[in-house]
Copies of this chain bind each other. A is one copy, B any other.
Amino acid sequence: MSIVPLYRQDSRHPQAQACSSCAVRSHALFGVLDEDDLDRIHTHIAHVDLPLGKVLFETGEVGSAVFTLREGIVRFERVTESGERRIVRLAGRGDLLGQEALLRRPHLDEAIACSPVQLCRIPTHVVDELGALQPALVRELMQRWQQALEDSQSWLADLTCGSARRRVLKLLTKLADLGDQAGTGSAVWLPKREEIGAMLSMTIETASRQVSQLRREGVITAIGLRSVTLDAPALAQALREEHNR
């Protein structure tokens, strides 16, 4: 994991990047801050690069920072008492990661990069201090919390019931949304079969069978080892048929 501080003004620094021109800032946590605010904090914010598969934080750790996801996809995993790994959330561009650190609570799950990932690391004390000055930031934080809650509940409602086929179809629509956010065009990241299993609570064999079947039907087309294009109308149609069965 490489960490590079972001200096807004010191142009001599080879990695110099301005928070103010950050591509995701407008829809990220600090979108509500003005230039003055940014000037006060930019030296505390670090850019983080994470290769595929690397862990951002572990279950049980009490973090000292939160992260804004600038690029890539991060999954949140936990191990149930029965010993199985489950993926309880996916985060995409602009999402805030590890907010429990702001409350000094330990992370409940492990955050792992599903693709090469770029994030901004924001120390909790920066958020604390700025929150005291800027009520808008506090409100934005609440919005983020609510967003995470809504994501979690819609995940629950959408991805955990129905046939294996329906769940896979639903997952594909969610992945397509994440892809749109990321602006990867029509290419959609397709998780490993084991990951699909951990998300949808099915075996890797079932996941494989469903994916293969959808490929045969032309709903998805492989364009790389872990990437597909998908036929949105066909997908919607397949879902509709699945409903009235």
Interfacial residues, chain A to chain B (CB-CB below 8 A): 78, 80-84, 86, 88-89, 99-100, 102-103, 105, 108-109, 132, 135, 138-139, 141-143, 145-146, 148-150, 152-158, 160-162, 166, 201, 239, 242-243
Contacts and interface: CB of A to CB of B under 8 A. Distances in A.
B243 A161 contact: no
Number of copies: 2
Given A105-B146, A142-B141, A243-B81, A160 B156 contact: yes
A84 B149 CA distance: 21
A201 B82 contact: no
A157 B76 CA distance: 11
A142 B82 contact: no
Contacts of A84: 161-162
Contacts of A201: 160-161
A132 B132 contact: no
Contacts of A81: 158, 239, 243
A153 B152 contact: yes
A30 B80 CA distance: 33
16 contacts: A78-B153, A80-B157, A80-B158, A80-B161, A81-B158, A82-B162, A82-B166, A83-B243, A86-B156, A88-B157, A89-B153, A102-B142, A103-B143, A105-B146, A145-B146, A156-B156
